[in-house]
Structure 1
Amino acid sequence: MANTDFTLSPSSGAEPHNSSTLPLAERHDAGRITISIHFDAAALEAEWRALDGNNRNSLHQSFDWCAAWTKTHGSRLLIVRGALGREPLFILPFEVDRGRFFHTARLIGSAHSNLNTGLFGNDAEPAPRAELAAALTEGISAHLRRFADVVMLDRIPSMWRGAPHPLSAVPGIENPNASFQLPLLGTMERTLAQLNAKRRRKKMRISEKRLDAIGGYEYVVARATPEAHALLDTFFRQKAARFEALGLPDAFRDADTRAFFHALIGTFEKGRDAGYLLELNAIRLKGEHEGRVIAISGLSRKGDHVICQFGSIDEEIAADSSPGELLFYRMIERLCGEEVALFDFGIGDQPYKRSWCTVETRLRDIILPLTPRGYLAAGVQHAVARTKRVIKANKTFYEFVQRQRQRRQAKSVEDD
């Protein structure tokens, strides 16, 4: 076979024109893979939304999710677009984190993404993965080094929805955390049959009995209403209290991050696999504690895949009723009747996730150094990932590290 070209050029009007042609791989039947860099998401909106329709693409790289993030964070976009012949093959939306020592290009909003896949079209499936990997890595290295020292594609599954991910041929390292999912089988009875159904129902009845003793509860679902925004603010307060109790930094403290989640409320995905970017679910008390919200979860839906983005409980009242577990039961029960096939508990290994989930998805981090400084950054990232894996594999040591973090946090508060 003859060698093919991989053409790289920025979009017009955004940056000075700079293109090169790189012979990288053999031609396959579908033609050339062309990689280009763009700086205006609106110019790619039609293609972007079309790729959103692929059910295997994560909601976290969808057009509306990324638009909300860039609007609230003021991010400068670097959008890598790949085409197979004339057809769009993939879109990878990056923002640049300008650190003290390194500039790192990351997928938009990675710090709050439970799963990253990028956006790949159906045509990515027949494309030879080695060729796709070569085009992507060489293309990024040739062009993004003007803007970043290293590229981080983190939380990428090797396998997703029963198929290898298109980036599975690109070398990477195992992420210290996995994600956890529960298949929904049409009814709550069939879904619970995958688990210890008897124990799960017993826990639900105990929770309801304890809540009935103080006046009962209601299960609340809120989307595009003031109630949803009020529930989100309650979540921020509950989560801040929980982080403080654990001696951990509040991941939702920044005003722009809070504005981002508020911006997601009432935004619905468009296209073939419609859904919602953020739906607030809650357990709210009746009776003597009328209106008190004791458990909150934020859900996102794309097609038949629902992700739990976050959750919190009020630990000051009725904590012995396990309101978080009760909320998961009610959400899953409802979604079983709404054609959802997969309930995703997200990234991070927690006992409650393992008690609910039958699927554990291992995730990978792909680190592409672009400059000499980037190679140093990649080495640091590899060392940090290895250290985290070792620590988390040793339960005793991990608990010790957590206690030390709590002590440091407590001392910092005292000093203030």
Structure 2
Amino acid sequence: MTMAAVIESRTAQAPARRLPSGLARVDIVSDLAAAEPVWRALEVPEHVSTPYQRFDLLGAWQRDVGAREHATPFIVIGRDAEQRPLLLLPLTLRHACGVRIATFMGGKHTTFNMPLMDREFATRASAGDLDVLLAGLRDRGGVDVLALTQQPLHWRDLANPLAQWPHQSSVNDCPVLLMPPGAAPTALLSNSFRKRLKSKEKKLQALPGYRYMVASSDAEIAELLDWFFRTKPVRMAEQRLPNVFAEPGIEAFVRSACMAKLDCGHRAIDIHALRCDAEIIALFAGVADEARFSMMFNTYTLSENARWSPGLILMRSIIDHYAQQDFRALDLGIGSDDYKRMFCKDDEPIFDSFMPLTARGRVAATTMAAVGRAKHAVKHSPALFRLAQQLRGALRARGGAAKVDEKADEKARD
């Protein structure tokens, strides 16, 4: 019997309603297919996970991005004494500066990172359970430090058990819009803001075929992504930002996740757009469960229609769309961009933990924690942040001048 079959068999034999005992055993799986049955069993709404930890999303990332970066799957499965899976940590293993570091799968493309957990275990997990988890990882060997970043303190009103470990605030905040049950549209976005957007939207509504849409068919998704990957590099170049979507494997990962169909009716990544017959005007894409939408990437048209703030209009449409479905929260990803604060007035508390598993890992964990605290201090001090931006701008200008000098030297040599 294959390992995957053994896992599936044990999962199927688990009593449906019996409360789990505490964590008793830790297994490490380095193969996605072998971990998939347990992963999907813990992914269902009856248990606890974020949409960023879905198998279809992280599996695509690992195949198309992680493997190219020489990151290997390091999937931690915690079981009770009767071998029922209680927790799955979807990690990946990297080597850097002679240290073996385990981090959450997904890299910079996941806003929130959490274990997938049996719901009863998540509500009762103790410090003793986490001690068993750490001891199991130390006994298995192969890792010097756990670098577990961007973890929410709570998810769907449940405390994150991993917050019992030593932790610190993440480098960036995550602005969030809370959506109380039955809230009026004007309670989510002010009436004056809505009026300003409505005035701008009148210009777009004059375009033939103007509409808001959520992509549903494969053909719609492919068309929207083709446009996104043509347009986003231009927008990023305008802002003098590196094009992260040009990195090896990223486009394949995004396309695969956007196409993946889930049992809940969503795709692993959902795409919302404003368009007319002549062009796509704006696009926002993100992950959703039955209670929250989290934005991952976006862009807007290069045409004259950009002057009417299509990104803001699209965001208002997305908020109204999910409010009608009784969602409880919406976020636009980490970072303090001005447009995010127009919609999201609260902050989601997120934290990092750097847990050493070996003596060599202790030095690495201390260093990573110190770097994280320094970055957090810069991001949360207007004076330090302005200084960092000025230095970055000076370095870019210096680099550009150096390139000009190199070209002049080449011409002189010619």
Which residue in the other structure is 2:210 paired with? 217
Which residue in the other structure is 2:150 paired with? 155
SS state at 2:101 partner = strand
- Asked if the contact 1:184/1:191 (under 8 Å) is kept, the reply is no
Counterpart check, 1:60 vs 2:52: yes
Counterpart Cα distance in 2 of 1:342 and 1:141: 37
SS state at 1:343 partner = strand
Cα deviation, residue 31, structure 1: 5.0
- Asked if the contact 1:278/1:300 (under 8 Å) is kept, the reply is yes
Which residue in the other structure is 2:379 paired with? 392
Which residue in the other structure is 1:346 paired with? 333
Counterpart check, 1:252 vs 2:245: yes
Cα deviation, residue 315, structure 1: 5.2
- Within 5 A, what are the aligned runs for 1:232-381? 232-270=225-263, 273=264, 275-285=266-276, 290-291=278-279, 293-314=280-301, 317-381=304-368
Counterpart check, 1:193 vs 2:158: no
Cα deviation, residue 394, structure 1: 1.8
- Asked if the contact 1:185/1:341 (under 8 Å) is kept, the reply is yes
Compared CA separation, residues 128 and 304, structure 1 to 2 (3 A)? closer
Cα deviation, residue 339, structure 1: 4.2
RMSD: 2.7
- Asked if the contact 1:81/1:90 (under 8 Å) is kept, the reply is yes
Runs of 4+ displaced beyond 6 Å? 213-216
Compared CA separation, residues 213 and 396, structure 1 to 2 (3 A)? farther
- Within 5 A, what are the aligned runs for 1:65-80? 65-73=57-65, 74=67, 75-80=71-76
Amino acid in the other structure paired with 1:192: T
Q: Deviations over 1:101-141 (max 9, x none)?
A: 43321111132101111111113235342112212222223
Compared CA separation, residues 351 and 376, structure 1 to 2 (3 A)? same
Counterpart Cα distance in 2 of 1:201 and 1:85: 56
Counterpart Cα distance in 2 of 1:112 and 1:150: 21
Counterpart Cα distance in 2 of 1:382 and 1:204: 42
Cα deviation, residue 410, structure 1: 4.8
Which residue in the other structure is 1:41 paired with? 32
Counterpart check, 1:30 vs 2:27: no
Q: Deviations over 1:181-225 (max 9, x none)?
A: 2234566x61431442x1221122122133356768322322442
- Asked if the contact 1:38/1:79 (under 8 Å) is kept, the reply is yes
Compared CA separation, residues 341 and 77, structure 1 to 2 (3 A)? same
Counterpart Cα distance in 1 of 2:303 and 2:357: 50
Counterpart Cα distance in 2 of 1:404 and 1:235: 31
Amino acid in the other structure paired with 1:323: P
Counterpart Cα distance in 2 of 1:269 and 1:51: 14
Counterpart Cα distance in 2 of 1:396 and 1:223: 46
Candidates 111, 120, 142, aligned match of 1:114:
111
Counterpart Cα distance in 2 of 1:185 and 1:396: 36
SS state at 1:268 partner = coil
SS state at 1:226 partner = helix
Compared CA separation, residues 130 and 274, structure 1 to 2 (3 A)? farther
Cα deviation, residue 407, structure 1: 4.1
Counterpart Cα distance in 2 of 1:347 and 1:393: 13
Moved more, 327-336 or 53-62: 53-62
- Kindly indicate which of the two structures has a greater share of residues assigned to helix: 2
Structure 1 stretches lacking a partner, 5+ long: 1-10, 14-27
- Asked if the contact 1:274/1:303 (under 8 Å) is kept, the reply is no
- Asked if the contact 1:210/1:321 (under 8 Å) is kept, the reply is yes
Percent identical across equivalent pairs?
Answer: 27
SS state at 2:267 partner = strand
Amino acid in the other structure paired with 2:102: A
Figure out how many residues of one structure are paired with residues of the other and give that number.
382
Counterpart Cα distance in 1 of 2:265 and 2:345: 26
Amino acid in the other structure paired with 1:102: V
Amino acid in the other structure paired with 1:260: F
Counterpart check, 1:139 vs 2:136: yes
Cα deviation, residue 262, structure 1: 0.5
SS state at 1:255 partner = coil
Counterpart Cα distance in 2 of 1:239 and 1:403: 25
Compared CA separation, residues 396 and 123, structure 1 to 2 (3 A)? same
- Asked if the contact 2:282/2:301 (under 8 Å) is kept, the reply is yes
SS state at 2:355 partner = strand
Amino acid in the other structure paired with 1:333: D
Structure 2 stretches lacking a partner, 5+ long: 5-18, 405-414
Compared CA separation, residues 124 and 182, structure 1 to 2 (3 A)? same
Compared CA separation, residues 352 and 120, structure 1 to 2 (3 A)? same
Cα deviation, residue 358, structure 1: 4.4
Compared CA separation, residues 91 and 358, structure 1 to 2 (3 A)? same
Compared CA separation, residues 250 and 379, structure 1 to 2 (3 A)? farther
Cα deviation, residue 249, structure 1: 2.3
Which residue in the other structure is 1:3 paired with? none
Moved more, 217-226 or 253-262: 217-226
Counterpart Cα distance in 2 of 1:360 and 1:173: 16
Counterpart Cα distance in 2 of 1:324 and 1:191: 18
Superposition TM-score, scaled by structure 2 size: 0.83
- Asked if the contact 2:42/2:48 (under 8 Å) is kept, the reply is no
